[in-house]
Structures are given as C-alpha cells and as structure tokens.
Amino acid sequence: MYTIQKTAKILQEKFGKFLDPFVIFGIVSLFIIPVLVVLNLKPTYNDSPQNNVLGVSENTTVEIVPNTDKADGILIENVEQPDEENYIIIYDISPQTEGTFKNLSFTISNPSSKEHKIQVSPTFVDTPESSVISLMVDNVKFILHDSNGKTYPPTIYVEPGDEIPVYLVIENQEKVNFETNFSLEAIIE
Amino acid sequence: MSKLLKKILSAAIFPAALMIVSKVLGMALANRIFDLGWSVQSNTTGLFSIQILYPDRQSAIQCNSYSNLFMITCLLIGVGVTLFQGYFLHSSHQNPKVLIKMLKFDFLVWLSDTPTIFPNMAVWLAFLWTGTVICITQSLQDFTYPWISVFAIVASIVVTWLGVRDLERELDTILPKNGKLNI
C-alpha cells in the first residue's frame, strides 16, 4: 500500500506538469460550455404563425362563382373550367322585348393576399347588332357589345379580400324574337 | 500539477453550473410569472437540436430579458458571498470584534479556511463579466431590454472595484511597504 502511494507520488512529481494543459483545457471548457448553453437558450419566436399550420395553405387565385338562377330572360346555361385560372361561361338569352334586362351573372372573390386581374373575352354569334351588352361591376359599366356590333374585352381588377358581384345588363333597342347565345371567357391573371 | 490551476478548476465548477441552472430557472420563472405560452422545437441547423419557441417576438424578448436578469443576479450573489468572505470572514482579516460578531450571528460556518480567496473571486468575476457580455450582445441584437444590460454593467463594475480594493488591502498586509514587510 505504502509502495503504491509512494509510486503515485513520484509519478505525480515527475509527470504532473504534463497534466497542466489538460487542466487549462478543463478550465476553458468550464467557461465555454455555460456560454454556449446560455446562448442556445435564447428563445426563438414564430414569425408568421398563420402560415405554419399543417394542412392549411393560402388561396393564391381568384374564384368565380356563377349564378345559375334565371332572371329577366338571362340564364347561364353552362360553365366550363379548363384549368384553375380559366372560366368559360355560356349564356342563354330568351326572346326579349325592347328595354333593359339585368341579372346577377357571377361573383368574383379574391381570398389571396395580392391583386388579380380578370381578362374577359366575349364571343357573340347570333346577338342582334343593335343590342348593347355589358357587365356591371360596382356600378361601373364595362361594355362587351355596343350598338354598332363592336365587341370589347374588358379587364376587371380585384383587390385582396374583395368579393364583387358582376351583373349582366342587356339593353335592347328593339324587340328580339329569338333565343340567342353568347359566351364569356374569363382568364385570371 | 499547478496548484493555482487546480484551484481555478475546482472554483469554476460551481459558477459554471449556476450560470446554466439560473438561466433555465429564470426562463421557467418568467414563463410562470408572465404566463407566457411556449413550446419546444427541434432545429437541425444549429449547434444544439432543441430550442424554446414563443408565439411572438414580444414574449421571447420578455422571457430572455428576465432570465438574463435572474442569471446576473445569481452570479452577483456568488460574487457577493466571495467579497463578504474577503472583507469580513477571511482568516487573515480576523480580529476579536469581527469574531464576536460572527459568533453572535452564527456566521462561523462562512469562514474561509483557504490561504487566499482571490482565485475564487477572480473566477466568479470572470463568470459575471461573461454574463454581462452576453446581456450586452443580446441588447444590441434587440433581444434583451437595455436596462438589464445597464444594470449588469454597473453591478459588474461595482463588484470588480470592491474586489480590487480587497486585493489591494490584502497585498498591503503581506507585501513590503517602504522597504519593510508589514507582516
């Protein structure tokens, strides 16, 4: 027992100085470890909690909801949607007297966070040349077909969060005795 | 093996542990007192894999600030105890009046039996200044209230000044003055 203790003491005296770098390393570690832990304990926060919910994604495009109820002889006969941003609305107009006829055509809603524009392209086949056909958006009239038979492709701008009802207005200069059809292509940009 | 290094190593273990524990405890207390919502998230990009997540920036700053304040206060208490030992309780400063007062208040347990407490005090001050630097850095990053950094700086300066005064007093008692030893 005595020999072991004596040998340990001799070894410590001879080689103890070589342990000093390890002790210095231990001291440095004792300073570095708490600093790293404290820095790592710096809390973080959620920048945009609404966007991080699993299974919920933001709507990025405009929705067009057609009104299929017939009023004033104006009826949406069919709606085709070749892709998410393209609608083709086909109207069926019953024989009408002269005068103005109006029906809610569709509702545009923009749930996204940016402004969108909708490019409307009308196609008239058998519409009387003298009839004025227009879209009424927020009391603003966008003429699609004027009294000279000329057609116009209007652009509707939709702000984020907007929900806009769009009316189709037909102004007949004279009585129309036959059923007519036309189509609108709405492209969302 | 160097005795001084051994002394510093053994003196650094407790403040290092206290720094970590007080930060964690401070966060837990801040969450409890201010009723903050929090969760744990794993992060694969950083050095450590776990982070404490708060729902908004304000809550994160509040928790970080008050946990830093708690950590600095705990380190200040540690330095304070060392200073107390240095000023009143160290065997080299003992005099009958102090001894009687210590007996009266049952403070004999605080007596330091080591020949010097300065390695201990230096280690505590080093940890206190490390905590202060962390507070200043996080204040500059706008992640700790500036008044906490100001408090940490002022407190660190004051206790360092008190420590230096104690060291000077100790040196005056043992080192030669006007060519004569004072012991």
CB contact under 8 A, B54 and A17: no
pLDDT at B183 (0 to 100): 46
Interior angle at CA B35, CA B30 and CA B36, nearest 5: 75
Write the CA distances from B143 to B34, B90, B119, B137, integer angstroms: 17, 40, 33, 9
pLDDT above 70 covers a percentage of chain A that reads 92
CB contact under 8 A, A38 and B20: yes
Answer yes or no: do A26 and A115 share one domain: no
- Using CB atoms and an 8 Å cut-off, which of residues 64-83 of chain B contact chain A? 64, 67, 71
CB contact under 8 A, A42 and B126: no
Task: Please tell me which residue of chain A has the smallest CA distance to B131.
Answer: A35
What is the tens place of the pLDDT at every residue in B133-158? 999 999 999 999 999 999 999 999 99
Answer yes or no: do A106 and A28 share one domain: no
Q: How many CB pairs under 8 A join A and B?
A: 90
Instruction: Among A159-168, B60-69, B104-113, name the most confident range.
Output: B60-69
pLDDT top residue among B127 and B48 = B127
Q: Is residue A134 part of a domain?
A: yes
H/E segment holding residue B76: helix B57-84
Task: Please tell me which residue of chain A has the smallest CA distance to B66.
Answer: A42
Q: Is residue A58 part of a domain?
A: no
CB atoms within 10 A of CB B148: 21
Judged by average pLDDT, the poorest of A175-179, B19-23, B57-61, B101-105 is B101-105
pLDDT at A60 (0 to 100): 65
* Interchain contact A140–B (C-beta under 8 A): no
List CB contacts (< 8 A) between A37 and chain B.
19-20, 23
Q: Is residue A46 part of a domain?
A: no
Answer yes or no: do A113 and A176 share one domain: yes
Answer yes or no: do A119 and A173 share one domain: yes
pLDDT at A51 (0 to 100): 47
Answer yes or no: do A170 and A116 share one domain: yes
CB contact under 8 A, B127 and A31: yes
β-partners of residue A155 are: A119
| CA separation for the pair B66, B62 (Å, rounded) | 6
Answer yes or no: do A14 and A70 share one domain: no
pLDDT above 90 covers a percentage of chain B that reads 46
Q: Is residue A52 part of a domain?
A: no
Looking at the structure of chain A, the number of domains it has is: 2
Rounded average pLDDT over B154-171: 88
| CA separation for the pair B86, A112 (Å, rounded) | 68
Å between B139 CA and nearest CA of chain A: 12
pLDDT at B98 (0 to 100): 67
Judged by average pLDDT, the poorest of A89-103, B25-39, B68-82 is A89-103
Answer yes or no: do A114 and A159 share one domain: yes
Answer yes or no: do A67 and A22 share one domain: no
Going by pLDDT thresholds of 50, 70 and 90, the confidence category of residue B76 is very high
Contacts for B162 with CB less than 8 Å, ≥ 6 apart: B83
Q: Where are the alpha helices (DSSP H) in chain A?
A: 2-15, 20-40
| CA separation for the pair B182, A1 (Å, rounded) | 45
Residues B60 and B92 sit within 8 Å (Cβ to Cβ):
no
Q: Of B12, B52, B64, which has the smallest distance from its Cβ to A30's Cβ?
A: B12
Residue B91 has pLDDT above 70, yes or no: no
3-state SS of B42-71 is: ECCCCCCCEEEEECCHHHHHHHHHHHHHHH
- Residue B139: how many CA atoms within 13 Å on its side-chain side? 18
Answer yes or no: do A142 and A98 share one domain: yes
CB contact under 8 A, B130 and A46: no
Rounded average pLDDT over A61-73: 81
* Interchain contact B181–A (C-beta under 8 A): no
Answer yes or no: do A178 and A126 share one domain: yes
Answer yes or no: do A104 and A18 share one domain: no
Answer yes or no: do A87 and A6 share one domain: no
Q: What is the CATH number of the domain that holds A152?
A: 2.60.120
Give the domain extent around A119. Answer: 63-188
Q: Is residue A178 part of a domain?
A: yes
Rounded average pLDDT over B89-97: 62
pLDDT at B138 (0 to 100): 93
* Interchain contact A32–B (C-beta under 8 A): no
